[in-house]
């Protein structure tokens, strides 16, 4: 029965309005908005689990493009029954 159940993904479009165009790992509300700490994202980067998220360097800090970050978060999220 579980095979036939449709998996529902969370709609995190509200984050598109909340986040700046590029979100630095050290953004004060990064963990609050994404559910991931900046250092956790750094570890996921090293493990190549964030390859679909576009990244840039802002000074000495990695920043993520808003749209690709939200898509990545949606892909890793699901709605609980």
Tell me the pLDDT tens digit for each residue of 22-44.
999 999 999 999 999 999 999 99
Alpha-carbon distance of 36 to 59, in angstroms, equals 21
Instruction: For residue 35, give the nearest of 65, 73, 78 by alpha carbon.
Output: 73
Of the pLDDT bands very low, low, confident and very high (cuts 50, 70, 90), residue 1 is very low
Among 4-8, 28-32, 56-60, which is the least confidently predicted range?
Answer: 4-8
| pTM (two decimals) | 0.83
């Amino acid at each position: 029965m579980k095979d036939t159940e449709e998996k529902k993904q969370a709609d995190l479009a509200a984050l598109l309005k909340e986040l700046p165009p590029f979100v630095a790992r050290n953004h004060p509300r990064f963990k609050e908005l994404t559910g991931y700490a900046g250092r956790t994202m750094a570890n996921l980067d090293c493990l190549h689990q964030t390859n679909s998220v576009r990244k840039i360097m802002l000074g000495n800090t990695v920043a993520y493009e808003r749209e690709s970050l939200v898509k990545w978060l949606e892909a890793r999220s699901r709605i609980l029954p």
